[in-house]
Each structure stands twice: as C-alpha cells, then as structure tokens.
Amino acid sequence: MDLKTPLYNIPGIGPSFAKRLERLELFNVGDLITHYPFRYDDLSHTSTVAEAQVGEKVTLTGELWSISNVYTRNRKILTKALLNDGGGTVELVWFNQPWLTKTLKSGDRIRVAGKVDKYHAKVSLVSPVWEKAPEVQMESLHTGRLVPVYPETANVSSRWIRQKMSLVLPVMLPKISDPLPDIIKKDKLSLSESLEQVHFPDNGEKLEKARQRLSFDELFYLQLATQKKRLEWQKQQVVEPLRIDRKRLEEFIQSLPFELTGAQLRVLEEIIKDLGKTQPMNRLVQGEVGSGKTVVAALAAYLVHLNGLKVTLMAPTEILAFQHFETFSRLLSPLGIEIGLYTGSRKAANTGSSIIIGTHALLSEKLSLENVGLVIVDEQQRFGVEQRTVLRKKAKVPHFLTMTATPIPRTVALTLYGDLDLSIIDELPKGRKIVRTHFVPSEKRDDGYKFISDQVKQGFQVYIITPLIEESETNLSAKAAKTEYERLQTKIFPDLHLGLLHGKLKAKEKEQVINDFKNHKIDILVSTSVVEVGVDVTNATIMVIEGAERFGLAQLHQLRGRVGRGLVQSYTFLFSEQENPEIVQRLKNLETIHEGLELSELDLKIRGSGEVFGLRQSGRWNLKIANFFDLKLIEEAKKSAALLLNLDPTLDKYPEIRGKLSDLASDVMPD
C-alpha cells in the first residue's frame, strides 16, 4: 500500500464503497488520509452512571442488561436498551435503527457516549454513539476521546470512515517522509505525527499543532507554486517597452462622456507602468459590477494599439462578449479603430481587426492570432487554467491583463493569486445611488409584486432571477426559470410583457431577448444567473432573486449590481421561503452591507472557502484544512516560499518538494 493505491484495493472498501467515496473526491489512499475532519465531538469525559449529570456529554462503560425494538403509536421504531456499569443503570434510546438488536446482545460489554438527557422522565442517553469493549484495545475510536467527524456521503458515515482510517493510518505513517527542511519546518510537528493527531488527537493542544502544520503545508505549496510561476514569468523573453503617448491618451480621456474616478485613474497608471517595462505585465484588476473595469481595459487597449499591436479580449459567455463589443465599439470606433467579434455564432467576423473580442472560440485552431501585444481575460475564474494557458501561447503574448467583478478578500488574493499583481477599483462613479435591498419572506411576496407592477407602470424594467432553468427532481423547491416565467406571465403580471433568458438558449435567441429588453420591448426579464455578467440596462431598477438562499453573498451582490446603473433609485428583493433564522440573517446582511469585499469575507466565514469562489472551476486549489482568514500563517507561508526559492530557485536540492509541487500543480497552475 502506498499513497497512490486505489481505494477499491483496500480490504473492507472494495469497488462498491470506492464508488461512493468518489462523491467525496476520494480516489486513492493519499486522498483518504487527507480527508480531514471538519469538527470533533468532545466525548473524552468518562463518568459513571451515578455521577452523570443531565445536560453533560459523558462516556460510560458497562454491561447491556437488555435491548429490544418497540413501536410507537405512529409506528416508528425505537430501540431501547438498559446499561449497567456496576453502580447504576441508564436507558439508551435509538431511533430507526432496528438492526442494532442483531449487532448488540444482552451481556455485551460496551462503551457509549452522548448527552445525558431525560426521556419520558427516565435518565437516558438518546442516540448515543457506541462500540463494543473488545474493540477498545489500545484506545477507543468512537467514544472516550475527541472523536473526529468527517464530511460524509450516502451510506458512508463518520463511524465507517474512522474505522477505515484506523486501519490505513498505522500502515501509511511510517512510509511518509517529511520533505520540509528544518529552516522551513522550524518547531512544527512532523508530517506523519500531524496526520495521526488530526485524525485521532491525544488532546486539544496536539490537535491544534497538527492543524497548524497541515494548514501551513497547503499554504506553503500554494505560495511556492505561485511565486515560482511569477519568477518564470519575469524571466520570459524581454519585451520592448511600449511608448506611452500621454497627449493622445489625455485627449481620449477628455473625449469620454463621463469623468473617470480616482480609482480608475490609479489603476490605469499601474497598467501604464507595467507596459513601460521590459518584463511582460501579468495583472489582475478587481472591481465591483459597474465600477468601470471595461473602460480601463479599453484605455489599455488603445495604448497598445498606438504601438501598432493587436489586442484580444476573451469573455466567458457570448452575452458578455457582445456587451464588451458594444462598449469597445462605442469608445474606440470614433478613433478609427476596428473592433472584431469572434464567438461560437460569429466566427465570420473580421479577424484582421485591431481589437478582437470573443469567447473561448478565440482558442480555435482555425483562428490565427499574430502581432498581439495584449491579452485581456474577463472573469478569469470562469476559465480553466488550460484555456488561459492556450491563449497565452497562441498569442505569444507579452502582456496579460485579467479582470474580475468577484470581490476577492485580501487574504484570498494573497493565497491564490500570488503570481499576479493586483489592482483594485474600489470606487463607483459619482452620483451612483446605493441599491436598496430587502429580504422578502413568503407572507410579503404579494406586496413585492405590487411594488414591481407599480414601478413598471412608471416606465421602469425588472429582472427576476431563478436558480434553475427547468424543474429538477433533486431541487424541487428551487423555482425554475421556465416554470416561473409561465406562472408570472399568466397569474401575476398578465398585462405586462415578460421575456425568458437562460444558458440553454441558442446564441441568436439570447441576443434577441437581450436586445428586446434593452429596447424596452420586455418589461420583466425572467432569467437564470446568466445575467450576472454582461447585461447592462440602465432603465432596469428592480432585481428580484428567487431562492436567494441558494446563492452566495458575493454572487447576490454581483446580481444586484445589474441594477442601479443610472441615477434613479433601484431595489433588490431577496425572495425566500426559508424560515431558518441563520439563513434569514445571512441574507439580511445584504440590507446593511453594500461593499462586495465585506460581503465576500462574511460569506467565507459563514460558508467556508470550498465553493464560495468557485475555486475548483477556476483551477486553483480548494484548501482542505487551511483557513483563508489566518493572515499570520499566510504571511509565514509566503515568506518561507520566498526563502526557499531564494536559496534554490530550481528546487534541485529539494527533489521531494519539487516532485510534490509538480503533482499538486500539474492540473492547476498555468505553464
């Protein structure tokens, strides 16, 4: 057995359980032993029946005097048992586990752990965890300790995972070497001890040290990969510094029908400084929806054009590509600059243009891109690393500018985008009003519809966003776009013009719907979150989000950024049938917090890092144990990575680290 051994080859797992474990993204032994607990039940307090107090968590050891299944009046099955520890008896109660009477018998000596309660006036343990005393050899797995609780899936419980982990770990730990040199590791626990303690901790102190070490490793390798990539990028072929024609740039800025914000001017200067260097630019511009990232990108494209070079802009959807095409054409066509469009449905466009805007179709082998001086990628986390890499190689690009409206907390940016220079447009255009946001429970839904109807009669337009395109058997409570469109059109707004937009429409159909909405032929646009980017209609003043609890706070913030584009007061209504106080409070945060970064950080705390930023889709690591909020550890990992690369930029002296880095980075870091 080694780290690469498939789980179906492990005794007690086999093909059937291996298939279930794949749902947890566990494929081999290495995946299993890095499947970390997400919490621990403190069942370390051992007691006697006589000493146990109602309300406390205890572990008791004794003999089963009886065990049987009984039926309640509503035909539910209870399993009741009586445990005697020599000094007293306590009742044990389990719900819907009739099989226990075949596993446990009178006379068995067992250990049970749980919260002491009163059930039908009797002192009881309700749904306790248990294990037979003979299984408790050196130490117990499920009771009498800090008990690990793991992410689970169908028919794979934490109890089952603990049992398998207790078999695999002792075999694997002696085989695991620690690749970190002492200068990096310092006084941290060894890797093997950390793995042992994170799964079966001796105590809270040892557990914390184990988590610190394993968290550091994740952050360290991530920092090492990004910093190494940054060094390689900087060593790429030296490029000719671009000439910056300040006079013509200023004339262009003065001709704009609006005044640039201070933040836009600051970011533009950062880009100008990059373009004037002999090293290629590799910059990420982050800014709220409506903050003016596209204008800054157009200014950068203009400067590159003045140097006789071409520009490509890649967007994740045709909707967004069309939007950029319109914006760039409006800004640059008056200067005699030809803008081309190249998408799945527009491949006949003139690719000899100075600026070519498109989707992933730009990666097509049929499209020849020569003399490109700047590649711009919008919403870069929506593209896989492989796609971005192909575009870089295809254009032989010396300068690379990426943009995102996703609010990225500083700690996340430090961790995930260490290979990029970061610019933030943290200022909205003057006169822009805050979008008033309201959580709307079921009983107030009709009031919301009346307000919407009144606004439409005043000449304004509305978005209604649903989580799905069609009804789903697995998400019956989620309102589907098609079903909701039909209900709203026939029952709620029969006298208004509604339109339907979703990702399964053909490109020309999408374009037609969007144009109809822009031209006010549609009053209410029912859509999936495809409108999150790319649809810009100043006259739209209301954003309604159905099933709002299904979206992250940062995504909800981006959706509400679709309204409030003009100077009229705009509104966002968060519709939800949820009554869970925690879910309601999470959504109500949008009523008082209007900064995307603050919301994304809050979402990170509430929901964890996992899927908040779509990290798996972005091709960046999804951290298993490290915390994006541990700035101290992030900074330590960053300094340690810089130290090691300074000592040995090629990592030739550290083959294990280089090998591990290669394994981790092969699928997630650009070439």
Residue 521, C-beta contacts closer than 8 angstroms, at least 6 positions apart: 497
Q: What is the CA radius of gyration of the chain?
A: 30
Measured CA to CA, the distance from residue 494 to residue 456 in angstroms comes to 13
Q: What is the per-residue pLDDT across 142-152, written as a single tens digit (0 to 9) for each?
A: 888 888 999 88
* Average pLDDT value for residue range 284-300: 89
Measured CA to CA, the distance from residue 364 to residue 54 in angstroms comes to 69
pLDDT at 660 over 70: yes
pLDDT at 665 over 60: no
The pLDDT, as a whole number, for residue 383 is: 52
Residue 245 burial by Cβ neighbours in a 10 Å radius (0-12, 13-18, 19+): middle
pLDDT at 454 over 90: yes
pLDDT at 621 over 60: no
pTM, entire model = 0.68
The alpha carbon torsion through 436, 440, 443, 448 (nearest 10 deg) reads 50
* Average pLDDT value for residue range 643-657: 92
pLDDT at 477 over 50: no
Would you state the structure tokens that stand for residue 230, as one six-digit string? 């940054």
Phi, psi of 382 (to 5 degrees): -85, -5
Angle at CA of residue 199, ends 193 and 205, nearest 5°? 65
pLDDT at 367 over 80: no
The pLDDT, as a whole number, for residue 607 is: 63
282 close to 323: Cβ distance less than 8 angstroms: no
Q: What is the per-residue pLDDT across 187-223, written as a single tens digit (0 to 9) for each?
A: 999 999 999 999 999 999 999 999 999 999 999 998 8
pLDDT at 406 over 60: yes
pLDDT-derived band at 418 (thresholds 50, 70, 90) equals: confident
pLDDT at 353 over 60: yes
DSSP letter for each residue of 561-573: TTS--SSS--EEE
* Average pLDDT value for residue range 644-664: 88
Q: What is the per-residue pLDDT across 604-617, written as a single tens digit (0 to 9) for each?
A: 777 655 444 444 43
Measured CA to CA, the distance from residue 367 to residue 364 in angstroms comes to 5
Q: What is the per-residue pLDDT across 525-575, written as a single tens digit (0 to 9) for each?
A: 998 876 655 567 889 999 999 999 988 888 888 889 888 877 789 999 999
Set out the domains of the chain in order of their start, with CATH numbers.
Answer: 45-144 (2.40.50.140), 246-277+292-404 (3.40.50.300), 436-593 (3.40.50.300)
Mean pLDDT for the chain overall:
85
DSSP letter for each residue of 313-346: EE-SSHHHHHHHHHHHHHHHGGGT--EEEESTT-
The pLDDT, as a whole number, for residue 622 is: 63
Would you state the structure tokens that stand for residue 412, as one six-digit string? 């996340």
Task: List the alpha helices (DSSP H) in 400-466.
Answer: 410-416, 445-457
Measured CA to CA, the distance from residue 483 to residue 490 in angstroms comes to 11
pLDDT-derived band at 597 (thresholds 50, 70, 90) equals: confident
The pLDDT, as a whole number, for residue 123 is: 82
Of 156, 190, 219, 220, which is closest to residue 26 (Cα–Cα)? Answer: 156
Please tell me which residue, 212 or 139, carries the higher pLDDT value: 212
Please tell me which residue, 598 or 640, carries the higher pLDDT value: 640
The pLDDT, as a whole number, for residue 412 is: 75
Measured CA to CA, the distance from residue 343 to residue 364 in angstroms comes to 10
* Average pLDDT value for residue range 493-511: 87
Would you state the structure tokens that stand for residue 269, as one six-digit string? 């200067």
* Average pLDDT value for residue range 74-78: 85
* Average pLDDT value for residue range 311-336: 89
42 close to 57: Cβ distance less than 8 angstroms: yes
